[in-house]
Structure 1
Amino acid sequence: MHDLQIVFEEAVRDIDNGDIKHLEQLIEGNPGLLNERYTAPADGYFKHPYLLWFIANNPIREKESLPGNIVEITAMLIRKAKEQGVSTLPYQIEYTLALVVSGRIPKEMGVQIQLADLLISEGAKPKGTIGALAHNNVDIACYLTGKGEPVELITAVCLDLPEAKEMAIKASEPEKELALVGAAFYGLLPALKMLISLGANVNAYPDRKRSKGFHSHATALHQAVFSGSLDAVRLLVEGGARLDLPDRVYQGTPLGWAEYGLMEEKNEEERIKKEAIVNYLKSKSV
């Protein structure tokens, strides 16, 4: 392995351990480190990552946490990159923001908005709301729209914004289909009723190119099952949603999703909800 790659691994451990002093020493002693890209993984959304990207812990590494000084570490990494004239820094900052707003760990650690605020102050454009919503990160989605990211129909629907209906009336079919999936993901009955009444296709798979990080591999019924809302599931089925359509990743039907969710659920209250969905879908499959 190349020497700088070994140093890179040490630097990632410093990030995970919150050792900002040693990390800064590594950067000063290895000037190319902040412009280095790690060799693995070789594909996927974390392909050949820069060191800065690791501050989001997305994808999640061995530790499902972030150190208490992660904001300070991020600020130091950006400051050092500026001092060293790292030409890729604007791109690194933009992509790091995407990882932060779609990540679970920054949210759980209570630093998602702080990190986003820092990255935006350093030049990242406020964006990533739809990706945030796809991972149930509602607070950061509200923050990004407040910072000026343009509101799309799915955003207005998922955040229950007052302009949602007017936007839906003027929306294209693909926009309504994506918004329907978003409403189903959150089990939002008024939004589902409104979109169905406006002709949204209840059996559509969202256009992947338009989805901007939201789930494009499954139908609204799959996502309603995931939400745990029997009322949302029933509304879609009564609105013509097909029970036999598979998702495009695991090839699971809505009933298959429901059964898997019930099998994995440990919370008794949530198990009751999921069991009711399984029983309902079975009754409709006869």
Structure 2
Amino acid sequence: MNNTDITDPLFLQAVEAIDSGDIVLLEELLTHNKRLVRERLDYPEPGYFQNPYLIWFVADNPIRVEKLAANIIDITQLLILFVKNEAADTAQYQIDYALGLVATGRIPKECGVQIAMMDALIGAGATPAGGLGALAHGNVEAAAHLIKRGGKLTLAAAVGLDLMEDVKMMTATAGKHELLVALTTAAFYGKPDIIAYLLSIGAPVNGYPENKEGFHSHATPLHQAVSSGSLAAVKLLVEAGARLDVPDKVYGGTPLGWAQYMQNDESPDEETRQGYAVIADYLKDK
């Protein structure tokens, strides 16, 4: 989403005040236009940011401007105050969802304010989730903080956070699908030791980890192991029977296709691209 997609002039003015850190203007707009915190923006595009509330824009997730204002904590607290006072019927939903956007976002993390923003929202009553959504976006510190602030620890989150004592305790009663989500998480982070352990206790090596916690459900553990760049993780899964011909649900790529794409992607450094080339060669041989 871009700011140019916002067709409501008043809403656009408020979003731009958030982006620029103009808290004086934002407070004036909110004081004289309560609908800004009561109503959702008319933005029918499908996806996780469909018809957003104003407070959701504090996270820059989806990315619009690639930075947050220096006073984004004050901005967030101001919006929380108006939401709770003027939109009591939707306030819990608004701040809960805002917390999820902050915890899974890249920009709050890069700006060094992710934890502080999370604390502002949790302090206002937002409910901490179990951290798996944050882990799905590489935000390990945010995931750990959600658990610290009261989020429920799941098996997959314990895997992502390297909490092996919890992993071993929770696998004793875990079902097959819970084990699949955990295995996919271990593959996503390229954790051969945990992958080996999960395989040894019967985690299914094939399948898509459908789940409600926000972890990637479009790809198999092998796809995610390829993405991690860990040849050891890839080998463990292939030797355990991971299928090489299964496409992911978004791009239609096989694990080999993922490796070849990443091998040719100019974003990583040369050493990383060479690592993907080795994985691609291994998968070709298989």
TMscore range, shorter length = over 0.9
Aligned to 2:143: 141
Aligned to 1:238: 239
Match of residue 59, structure 2, among 56, 60, 80: 56
Aligned to 1:187: 190
Asked if the contact 1:66/1:109 (under 8 Å) is kept, the reply is yes
Q: CA RMSD in A?
A: 1.4
Match of 1:44, as an amino acid?
Answer: G
1:27 aligns with 2:38: no
1:261 aligns with 2:262: yes
Q: CA deviation at 1:31?
A: 2.1
Aligned to 2:272: 270
- Under a length normalisation based on structure 2, what TM-score does the superposition of the two structures give? 0.94
Asked if the contact 1:55/1:70 (under 8 Å) is kept, the reply is yes
Aligned to 1:111: 113
Q: Matched residues in 2 for 1:200 and 1:38: separation?
A: 43
Q: Matched residues in 2 for 1:277 and 1:42: separation?
A: 37
- Under a length normalisation based on structure 1, what TM-score does the superposition of the two structures give? 0.94
How does 1:177-256 map onto structure 2 within 5 Å? Answer: 177-206=180-209, 208=210, 210-256=211-257
1:13 aligns with 2:16: yes
Aligned to 1:93: 95
Match of 1:204, as an amino acid?
Answer: G
> C-alpha offsets along residues 239-276 of structure 1, whole Å, 9 cap, x if unaligned?
11111111111110000011111111441121121111
Q: Matched residues in 2 for 1:229 and 1:41: separation?
A: 39
Asked if the contact 1:169/1:198 (under 8 Å) is kept, the reply is no
What is the aligned residue count? 278
Aligned to 2:84: 82
Q: CA deviation at 1:7?
A: 0.3
**Unpaired runs of 5+ in structure 1?**
none
Asked if the contact 2:38/2:87 (under 8 Å) is kept, the reply is no
Q: Matched residues in 2 for 1:271 and 1:158: separation?
A: 24
Q: CA deviation at 1:128?
A: 4.7
Q: Matched residues in 1 for 2:97 and 2:87: separation?
A: 18
Aligned to 2:174: 171
Q: Matched residues in 1 for 2:262 and 2:74: separation?
A: 39
Q: Matched residues in 1 for 2:193 and 2:87: separation?
A: 51
What fraction of aligned residue pairs are identical, expressed as a percent?
53
> C-alpha offsets along residues 49-72 of structure 1, whole Å, 9 cap, x if unaligned?
0100000111111x1111111111
Q: Matched residues in 2 for 1:127 and 1:168: separation?
A: 20
Match of 2:203, as an amino acid?
Answer: A
Match of 1:268, as an amino acid?
Answer: E
Asked if the contact 1:16/1:66 (under 8 Å) is kept, the reply is yes
Q: Matched residues in 1 for 2:37 and 2:127: separation?
A: 21
1:38 aligns with 2:50: no
How does 1:151-162 map onto structure 2 within 5 Å? Answer: 151-161=153-163, 162=165
Asked if the contact 2:38/2:86 (under 8 Å) is kept, the reply is no
Q: Matched residues in 1 for 2:130 and 2:144: separation?
A: 11
Give the secondary-structure state (helix, strand or coil) at the position aligned to 1:149.
coil
My pick for the range that moved more, 124-133 or 171-180, is: 124-133
Aligned to 2:4: none
Q: CA deviation at 1:76?
A: 0.8
Q: CA deviation at 1:211?
A: 4.3
Q: CA deviation at 1:83?
A: 3.8
**Unpaired runs of 5+ in structure 2?**
1-6
